[in-house]
Structure 1
Amino acid sequence: MTLQVADKRDLPGFKRELQEAFSAAVIDAVGSVPDQSIPSGDDVEESFSAPGAATYHVLLDGIRVGGAVLTIDPVSHRNSLDLFYISIRQHGRGVGQRAWQAIEARYPETKVWQTFTPYFEKRNIHFYVNKCGFKIVEYYNAHNPLPHRPAPEGMPDDGDFFRFEKIMRDER
């Protein structure tokens, strides 16, 4: 399992594959996809161009099987997994866990990793908590909205989200 930096020319295909993987999760949960792409094209583009963004292809035996968009803070070492997907053809084979281990190995100075996932996405919750060692630290809903933007429209469970953290080393 390796990570390959995504070139700007790769980003349209990366976005399409990411949206296909995310749409499959929504279809599993509710049987159909909302009219707009999930995540929206604007959200994906914003992640690609955010300060500290690092975009990678996940390669298995040299073949692209997924991708990740990270935000890396070289000062605080509190990093974020903003977008992460594995091709639906690779699900259930341990590829996601090995990809996550490759990300952790690439950033050994990380003190804390953070990520978010929708409330309805049971497979993601299982993956982050039981396979990768994250803890749920916050629940976003109508009474505690996402801090930086509204929840995407058309999502199951009213767009509720969890925030996860994984403490890699003591911040003292």
Structure 2
Amino acid sequence: MITLARAEPAHLPAFKRELQDAFGKAVIETFGPLTDGPIPSDEDIEQSFAEPGAVILEILRDGRRIGGAVLTIDEETQHNELGFFFIAAGEEGRGQGLEAWRAIEAMFPQTRVWVTHTPYFEKRNIHFYLNKCGFRIVAFHHGHHRDPDMPELGEVPGGDEMFRFEKIMPAR
């Protein structure tokens, strides 16, 4: 059974490394070895940890961390963001991501809209968000149509091409 726990500050360095390993795996499979450091960068992750409304969750199976999520919860609008979501390398492919996402939705039942982004090349993520979790693609951002809410993505492979997903939650 999957459970969620708010990450303790002492766990954040390991959380960050596991997140980078999970994200880096898809980049390496698509573009080859990383040459400019981990993806996402330490700075990007730390910035997400410091956002107003940030909630850092550990995804646990039998008390052992198998993944994590970084959310931004807007208490006023309840238009909440899934900034980072990962199942640790070696733990994926067992339905744990969907179980974790359902637990996140249950933890924040007041959410009206969830928003997330994923790179165009990340077919597993696209399948997961569309076909498993019920999100819809609402925009395709690229060099000629940038997302005004996201900073420059720099030299990340495929960084200029991202899908924006939204999930409108049923009224409760």
- Structure 1 length normalisation: TM-score? 0.94
Structure with the bigger percentage of helix: 1
Deviations 1:73-124 (A, max 9, x none): 1111110000011012111100100000000000001000000001110110
Partner AA of 2:94 in structure 1: R
Report the equivalent of 1:144.
Answer: 145
Q: Please show how residues 52-91 of structure 1 align to structure 2 within 5 Å.
A: 52-91=53-92
CA contact (8 A) 2:134 2:167 kept: yes
5+ residue gaps in structure 1?
none
Partner AA of 1:25 in structure 2: A
Report the equivalent of 1:164.
Answer: 165
Report the equivalent of 1:102.
Answer: 103
Q: 1:159 to 1:36 in 2, by over 3 A?
A: farther
Measure, in 2, the Cα distance between the counterparts of 1:92 and 1:67.
15
In the TM superposition, residue 152 of structure 1 has moved relative to its aligned partner by 3.4
Measure, in 2, the Cα distance between the counterparts of 1:159 and 1:131.
25
Partner AA of 1:168 in structure 2: M
CA contact (8 A) 2:56 2:71 kept: yes
CA contact (8 A) 2:98 2:133 kept: yes
Measure, in 2, the Cα distance between the counterparts of 1:127 and 1:12.
27
CA RMSD of aligned residues (A): 1.4
Report the equivalent of 2:52.
Answer: 51
Report the equivalent of 1:135.
Answer: 136
Q: How many residues align?
A: 170
